[in-house]
Structure 1
Amino acid sequence: MIWLIIPLLLLYFTYELYWKRRNLPPGPTPLPVVGNLHTLLRHEPGYSAFEMWRRQYGPVCTFWLGSFPFVLISDYSTLKETFVRDGDAFAGKFHVEEITKLYRGGQYGIVDTVGEMWREHRRFALHVLRDFGLGKDGMEQRVSAD
């Protein structure tokens, strides 16, 4: 029985520690199940861990929350280059629907939605803003006059 468990554990840790991370930027080694959550909780405030990782791994690094990888970009020029050059590749947002329902009652608003609902909300918001004069030359004059 032990001869079966040891190879399975070896395969699991090889997958977790190497295979999943092979195409991602460098970053701290995650623990199984919790990822790097233990490091974030140890640093007060939590974003100080991001600063530590930036110094250690450079402006682009990967950290894990559970089994989900997050790529941290902490340099303005890299951030601008990434989202301008490859904006479509990063257009989707990570969200856990159960958490959104628990804390907000569902996906509402422009900022918190994804997919088709986001497009619909964006179209509506732009339509309403245009109706109120956004993007028209007269609006700038009215604001300046006030």
Structure 2
Amino acid sequence: MRRTIGAGAGLLVLLVASLTGCALQTSSCRDYVQLDTDEAWTGEAALVVDARVRTTDRTVDVDGVYRLHAATVTDVRKGTAPARTLDVFAPSDQCTTGGQAVEYSEGDPLDEPGAYRLYLHEERDGLWRLIVPDAVERLD
């Protein structure tokens, strides 16, 4: 009898979730530490590089779907670059939902191709993100 009730309750939760449009996604609202200077960014970053950045057609879901950028390293300012080209994304300054495209209040700071100084943290093996949403300097 208990198995029948447990299975029925699980089915009811799934049915209610599908009817309300809830895909059991997780939401995240990050409150970033205020870092206003390149010295503060350098202190917090595991890796600081100058790189030529271009947008790719690839995405990654890290509490929301981010467009990946390919950063070809031209100079290492801090740390050790694990490869000549890094997969990088700029974290959103807005709340995000897993499985949904992220939004930015002023746009993705890496969308325009060019030379940048990137202040990075390794999100997971081989995937890098800016330490805070605006931790990037345009070099050209």
The TM tier, using the shorter chain, reads: under 0.3
Larger radius of gyration: 1
By percentage of residues, which structure has more strand? 2
Higher relative contact order (CA 8 A, sep 6+): 2
Give the TM-score normalised by the residue count of structure 1. Answer: 0.22
Q: Taking structure 2 as the reference length, what is the TM-score of the superposition?
A: 0.23
